Homo-oligomer: A and B are copies of this chain.
């Protein structure tokens, strides 16, 4: 095989690669709490330099944790962009961790730490592959650029502006995304897209203060106002009722439909894991996968009003709040949906309901299934994992992919260290070292193939 020399080096230096993950995970970097961001950015830049790249911290237009930008020239001008993030989710609730979240703990094949799977393991996998190439062959067959942000877990604010402002600096030919994983069968999963997001808080205020509930016949109630406003957004058949909500949805391509049809189904596992008897609209099989991947959503993430403690309190609340998450599909846009939401509430008599945007919206993005780069990443996966890759047209989740697909015009596909029990965002986040090894080699194989097929 073309990479025997590189893989042999990797096998001999696996503990060093693990050492890099441990080093990254020991350094907390909680963007939501602004903990350790500058320190982690500097550590990541130093590690890029150790791998031979030139690295620097670049501020985002709106402030916040800097982007670690890096460049490493190879033997061809073909340039591969590597998108990752060095920030992690808050570790709370701490009491549910088997070991302290920022003290990486190794048990057999498992390495447990906050961020090990999302996304520090991916960063370390990229670096290990690069180091091996340089050690064995002296150089890389392609050029690399690194864009490692520190605000992914808080919605990547201003990353799109950053990409627009630095278009020529960030020029590349293709992009490897974070968060790739294997499924329960061990098949590598290659993700080509993300949903967008609009996250808002609706707030009803009916009076300047709460009053005794005996006044309920005459005094307006914020909780009721909010309930009626919410019920106007989506009916119990799960139809989103905002006029024009679906207007800009792009029809699915035959390839996308085919991919959803051919994907292995994991719905029974999900049902069992969640104790759910039936899914929304009782969808099964391909209908389940179609909804999961391609349907936009309107999800209540939080609701609060009045008295929420034990027992009874006879109070009439003056304020009620709901957090709502709309996941968007191409070509929906958060600003457009926000305007339609406002207009819908106004037309239905809910001018009093305030809308606040909790985080910046993100656009949905997808790379076409027939992109040559997708085939290349799949072929590299087949070589390394010795199993047929599962190519998924889009994740149901969200990320700042639009900045790369649409602003920079790159085909994007994922590669990474995760597996279904990685527990990302949850206590006991972990990575299997065997998956880490495969992800490093997948990265190496992508680089090697790209050197041979520069035309992707």
Q: Which A residues fall within an 8 A CB radius of B?
A: 32, 154-155, 195, 197, 199, 206-209, 211-221, 223-224, 226-228, 230-231, 234-236, 267, 270, 274-276, 278-280, 283, 288, 291-292, 295-308, 311-318, 320-323, 325, 327, 349, 358-359, 395-398, 425
Q: Which residues of B contact A300 (CB under 8 A)?
A: 221, 223-224, 227, 305-306, 317
14 additional A-B pairs beyond A32-B311, A207-B274, A218-B288, beta carbons within 8 Å, are A199-B312, A209-B275, A213-B299, A213-B327, A215-B292, A216-B325, A217-B292, A217-B396, A224-B300, A227-B231, A302-B308, A302-B313, A304-B308, A311-B358
Contact check, B315 vs A221: say whether CB atoms are below 8 A apart: no
Known interface pairs A155-B312, A307-B301, A315-B302. Does A220 touch B276 (Cβ–Cβ under 8 Å)? yes
Contact check, A212 vs B397: say whether CB atoms are below 8 A apart: yes
Q: Which residues of B contact A228 (CB under 8 A)?
A: 231, 235-236
Q: Which residues of B contact A217 (CB under 8 A)?
A: 280, 291-292, 295-297, 327, 396
Contact check, A279 vs B325: say whether CB atoms are below 8 A apart: no
Known interface pairs A218-B288, A314-B301, A359-B311. Does A276 touch B213 (Cβ–Cβ under 8 Å)? no
Known interface pairs A218-B279, A397-B212. Does A313 touch B307 (Cβ–Cβ under 8 Å)? no
Contact check, B312 vs A323: say whether CB atoms are below 8 A apart: yes
Contact check, A303 vs B306: say whether CB atoms are below 8 A apart: yes
Contact check, B349 vs A299: say whether CB atoms are below 8 A apart: no
Tell me the bound Cα distance from A390 to B271 in angstroms.
63
Name the residue of chain B whose CB is nearest to the CB of A321: B308
Q: How far is the CB of A197 from chain B (nearest CB, A)?
A: 8
Q: Which residues of B contact A280 (CB under 8 A)?
A: 217-220
Tell me the bound Cα distance from A326 to B323 in angstroms.
27
Q: Which 8 pairs across A and B sit closest by C-beta, in order of nearness? A: A208-B275, A216-B299, A231-B231, A216-B297, A223-B300, A304-B308, A302-B306, A312-B358
Contact check, A317 vs B305: say whether CB atoms are below 8 A apart: no
8 contacts between A and B (CB under 8 A): A212-B425, A218-B279, A218-B288, A219-B280, A220-B280, A227-B303, A300-B317, A304-B304
Q: Which residues of B contact A315 (CB under 8 A)?
A: 301-302
Name the residue of chain B whose CB is nearest to the CB of A359: B312
Tell me the bound Cα distance from A334 to B181 in angstroms.
55
Q: Which residues of B contact A327 (CB under 8 A)?
A: 213-214, 216-217
Q: Which residues of B contact A314 (CB under 8 A)?
A: 197, 199, 301, 325, 398
Known interface pairs A230-B227, A276-B206, A292-B217. Does A301 touch B325 (Cβ–Cβ under 8 Å)? no
Tell me the bound Cα distance from A79 to B398 in angstroms.
75
Q: Which residues of B contact A267 (CB under 8 A)?
A: 218
Tell me the bound Cα distance from A318 to B214 in angstroms.
31
Name the residue of chain B whose CB is nearest to the CB of A318: B274
Q: Quick one: which of B211, B274, B323 contacts A208, CB cutoff 8 A?
A: B274
Q: Which residues of B contact A397 (CB under 8 A)?
A: 212, 214
Q: How far is the CB of A280 from chain B (nearest CB, A)?
A: 5
Tell me the bound Cα distance from A239 to B318 in angstroms.
20
Q: Which residues of B contact A208 (CB under 8 A)?
A: 274-276
Q: Quick one: which of B215, B235, B301 contacts A313, CB cutoff 8 A?
A: B301
Q: Which residues of B contact A230 (CB under 8 A)?
A: 224, 227, 231
Known interface pairs A206-B276, A327-B213. Does A317 touch B301 (Cβ–Cβ under 8 Å)? yes
For A212, A216, A311, A315, the residue with the greatest tally of chain B CB atoms inside 10 Å of its CB is: A216
